[in-house]
Amino acid sequence: DGVYMGTQLGSALDVAELERVEVLRGPQGTLYGRNATGGAINFITQKPTGEFGGKVTGEVGDDSLWGVKATVNTGTLGSVGEGLGALSATFGGMTRQRDELYENTNPNLDDFEDLDREAYRIALRWEVNDALTVDYAFDHSELNEKASPQFMVGSTPFSINPETGAQTSRSEFIENTVIGQVGGNLGIMNEFAPQFGLSP
C-alpha cells in the first residue's frame, strides 16, 4: 500500500488479501525514495468492502504440514455523508505449522528446519463523506522456528583449507529463530473536485 518494507521476514503478506500487485521497473525514486533505484513492487491490499462475509482456506502436506487462513468483512456502521460517516473493517488471521525436516545427529538437541508461524491483520475504512476517505491497517506477525544447521569454520591465513579442529559446537548455533514484526499504515484521500485529489 505504498509503505516501504525493508525486509521480507515475517508473515504480514500471508494474511493480507491482495487486490493487485504492481511491478514498476527502473528507478522509482521520485515516488518511492532512494531505496527504489532498481524498481519497486507494490502490493495493494483489498480495502474493507462494507458487506458482511468471509472465507476460510486451509492446506495440508508432508511432514505434518498444515495451515489455516481466515478473513472476515464486517458490515458498515453508519452512512456516508451522515453524522460521523460510514465505518467498515476487515479482520484476518493465519497460522502455519510443520514438523522438522532434518534430523539432528546430536542427541541432546532437537531436530531443525520446522515451521511455526502466525499473523493477524486489521484494516479499517472510514468514509466520512463522498470526498474524504481514511484507511488504516495494523498487522502483527511472529515466527518461532528452529533454523537450518550452522557452524563456524576457522581458516588459516593465506590458505583455502579450513583449519583443523576449528569447528565449533553446533549447540551454539542451532537455536530457535524468533522474529516478531508489527506494522501499520494510514492513508487519507480527499477529493477536492472530480479531477483533483490528495493522497499520501
Residue 95 lies in a domain: yes
Cα separation of the two ends of the chain? 10
Residue 7 lies in a domain: no
Residue 87 lies in a domain: yes
Among 188, 180, 187, 48, CA closest to 120: 180
Residue 154 lies in a domain: yes
Residue 185 lies in a domain: yes
Based on the structure, what is the number of domains in the chain?
Answer: 1
32 backbone dihedrals φ, ψ, rounded to 5°: -120, 5
| Residue-by-residue DSSP string for 94-134 | EEEEE--SB--S-TTS--B--EEEEEEEEEEEEE-SSSEEE
Domain that residue 108 falls in = 47-198
Grid coordinates given for 68: 489455516
Segment 181-193, tens digit of pLDDT = 888 888 888 877 6
Is the pLDDT at 87 greater than 90? The verdict is yes
15 backbone dihedrals φ, ψ, rounded to 5°: -95, -20
pLDDT of residue 169: 39
Residue 140 lies in a domain: yes
Which helix (H) or strand (E) is 30 found in, with range? helix 29-32
Residue 32 lies in a domain: no
Is the pLDDT at 148 greater than 80? The verdict is no
Give pTM, 2 decimals: 0.72
Residue 25 lies in a domain: no
pLDDT of residue 23: 87
Segment 43-55, tens digit of pLDDT = 888 889 888 999 9
